[in-house]
Amino acid sequence: MKKVTKAVIPAAGLGTRVLPATKAMPKGMLPIVDKPAIQYLVEEAVRSGITDILIILGRNQSIIEDHFDRSPELEEKLAKPGKEKALEECLGIANMANILFVRQKQTLGLGHAVNTAKAFTGDDPFVVIYGDDVIWGEDPVCAQLIRAYEEFGRPAAGVSAVPWEDVSRYCSLKTTPIHDNYFFVDDMIEKPKKGQEFSNYSILGRVLLTPEIYDILAHTKPGAGGEIQLTDAMAEYARTRGGMTAVEFTGKHYDMGNKLKVVEAQVELALQHPEIGEEFRAYLKEFCKTL
């Protein structure tokens, strides 16, 4: 079994759910305290042992490339006494992993985006980190999926139980318990209509795939929303190639395409921030007294 060292981050979406903030800025650059959302995704991958990362971009998103690049002018300004920590942080961003970029010329769905990574992943297993989904926790979700892959030898999906009324916004998996937080999956459906649901377990932002997925994506037709859905390809894999493993992951999920969840991420991660956490907590207590 090959070691999982590669990750793919599709980040080419237009961010229409969080306009006007994303009119001129990719949603991946929405800040959560002092870091853009996409940096949390890259850091999760690195904490999981990933060394090579491909970020899939759309037009006018070169600012993401700039963020993970060196900045000689800034570094020169920070190379002064008292600025050592800031310089170390900026250099660390550029050196976290081997980060590559490719442009998705048409945003035809997540399946289409993943298909552009074929040359990068080659014959290796890889993790897909959905660009909308920040998941905060001590145990990175990517690492949880890698452990499941190493135990069962099958592709894996990070899942959570969502309210039944929300299942139609996500996907629904047909699951059979294995042990602990592991389930066997032999079918799934993207954005099911009422009555089509298998369960209220939905994939929330993380999957681990093997190169066989590309053979399936090659003939996957547009599905929900007229897009090539990665879920449809995974459903075929689950039905015809021995199933997948669902991992009910630990960690707090934030949908960065949802304005309320963006604010929740800001508040909750600010409370945990080593520099401002205590002051922010005190501020919130005083502010709540005025409500």
Model confidence at 110, pLDDT cuts 50, 70, 90, reads: very high
Lowest mean pLDDT among 64-73, 200-209, 243-252: 64-73
CA dihedral over 191, 197, 200, 204, signed as positive or negative = negative
Give the other-Cβ count within 10 Å of 268's Cβ: 13
Q: Is the pLDDT of residue 107 over 90?
A: no
Is cis: bond before 177, omega within 30 of 0? no
- Residue 286 CA to residue 238 CA, distance in Å, equals 52
pLDDT-derived band at 226 (thresholds 50, 70, 90) equals confident
Kindly list the domain boundaries of the chain, sorted by start residue. 4-256, 257-290
Q: Cα(212)–Cα(138) distance, rounded to whole angstroms?
A: 31
* Helix pair 277-288, 259-271: axis angle to 10 deg: 120
Share of the chain above pLDDT 90, in %: 75
User: Does residue 248 contact residue 201 with C-beta atoms inside 8 Å?
Assistant: yes
Pick among 2.60.40.10, 3.90.550.10, 3.40.50.1100, 2.40.110.10: CATH of 4-256: 3.90.550.10
- The candidate with the shortest Cα–Cα distance to 149, out of 124, 132, 167, is 124
Calpha distance 24→47 (Å, rounded): 31
The tens digit of pLDDT for each residue in 36-85 reads 999 999 999 999 999 999 999 988 889 999 999 988 888 888 888 888 88
Query: Distance between CA atoms of 95 and 69, rounded to whole angstroms?
Result: 9
pLDDT band at 13 (very low <50, low <70, confident <90, very high): confident
**Pick from 70-79, 189-198, 210-219, 258-267: least confident:** 70-79
Q: Provide the pLDDT for residue 56.
A: 96
